[in-house]
Amino acid sequence: MKAIQCYLDEKVVIADPLELGISDATSTSLLFVFHIIAGIATITAYSKYLISKSWIDNNLTKQLKKLITGEWEVRIVSMDEPNAFTIGKKQLYVTTGLKALLPDEKELMSVVLHEAGHTLKYHSMKRLTLHSATSSFFYSISFILSALSIPTAIVFIFASIIVDNLIYNYYSRLTEQQADSYAVKIGYGKEFAAALRKFHKLYGRNRKPVDPSSKIERFIKKLGHLFDSHPRDVDRIKDAIKNSKDVRRSIAKGTTWDMIRNISLAVGINPDEAKKQPEFNKMMKNISSMGYS
C-alpha cells in the first residue's frame, strides 16, 4: 500500500494509510463514548438543577396520570418565555409563560402530552446518540484528510458542520412529528392545533412574508427550513386537525365540513376566508377522501 509522507519538524514521517485508519478508528470510538458520557452527565446535572428551581403542579400531574400510566411529574419553571420541555425522564417542565399563553387546561395538557411523547420514545437519548455518532465520524474523516492536505481538511470540517446540522435537524423534525402524533393519538388533536396556533401568532407575527411571485425568495425559505429543528407551524396544525379523533368520527358520520368549520374557528381561522385559499381546499379534499372509521 502506498505510504503518505507527513512532514513534522523538518523530518519525513512515513504514514501507512491502513495504520492511520486503525488508530483513527480507535480515537473515533473513544470520542463517541466521550460524547455519550459527557452528554449523560450534562443531562443529569441539568436535571438536578431544574428540580431545585421548579415545583410540582399537582393538578397537571394528576391529569397526566389519568391519561398515561407511570410515575410522571409535571413541574413549573419560572420563565417568561412560553415553553415546555423534557430531558429524557418522566419529569416534564412547563414554564409560567406557557401557562399564561395557554389558560385553557386542555390546550396546556396537549403540549404536556407532546413532551410525554418525547419521553416515551426516548428522543433525548436518540438525538444525543445520533449527534455523537455523526460528530465522531466526521472527526475521523477530517483526521485522515489532515494527513493528506491541511486545506482540504479545513474545507471538509466546515462542510461537515453544515451536513451534521442538516442530519440532526432532519431527525429532530421527525421526532417532533412523532411527539405531535402522540398527543393527537391520545385525543387532544383539536386542542394541540389551537395551542400551536397561539404559538404561531406569538412568534410568527414579525416574520417577513415571502413574495409568492419570487422564485428566489421561495427557494431561500425552503432551503432555510432544512436547518429548522421543528416542522413548519402550518404543517403541524394541519396534521393535528386532520388526524384528530373528532375529525375521524365526523368523517364516518358524513359531517366532515361542519367539523372542519368548528375546528377552524377553535384554532382561530376564519373558515369563510380559509375556504378561499387553494391550500385549505386541498386539505379539505384530502381529509374528505381518507374515509376513516
Q: What average pLDDT does range 285-289 have in this prediction?
A: 52
Is the separation of the CB atoms in 199 and 267 below 8 Å? no
Q: CA 46 to CA 63: how far, in whole Å? A: 26
> Starting at the edge strand that comes first in sequence, how are the strands of the sheet with 91-95 ordered?
54-56, 73-77, 91-95, 84-86
Predicted TM-score (pTM) of the model is: 0.73
Which distant-in-sequence residues (6+ apart) come within 8 Å of 205 by Cβ?
A: none
Query: Residues 127, 175: contact at Cβ < 8 Å?
Result: yes
Torsion-angle region of residue 235: left (phi > 0), alpha (psi -120 to 50) or beta?
A: alpha
Measured distance CA(235)–CA(238) in Å, rounded: 5
Phi-psi category of residue 33: left, alpha or beta, with phi > 0 → left and psi -120 to 50 → alpha: alpha
What is the grid cell recorded at 285? Answer: 379534499
Dihedral sign for Cα 289, 248, 68, 200, please: positive
Q: What is the pLDDT of residues 171-212, one digit of tens each?
A: 999 999 999 999 999 989 889 999 998 888 887 644 555 455
Q: What is the pLDDT of residues 90-139, one digit of tens each?
A: 889 999 999 999 999 999 999 999 999 999 999 999 999 998 889 888 88
User: Which of 112, 110, 111, 78 has the alpha carbon at shortest distance from 95?
Assistant: 78
Q: Is the dihedral of CA 241, 73, 115, 69 positive or negative?
A: negative
Answer whether residue 237 shows pLDDT above 70: yes
- CB atoms under 10 Å from CB of 239, counted, come to 20
Q: Cα(58)–Cα(49) distance, rounded to whole angstroms? A: 20
192 close to 110: Cβ distance less than 8 angstroms: yes
- Mean pLDDT across the stretch 140-147? 80
Amino acid of residue 95:
T
- Tens of pLDDT, residue by residue over 148-165, are 888 888 888 899 899 999
Q: What is the pLDDT of residue 141?
A: 83
The values of phi and psi at residue 12, to 5°, are -85, 125
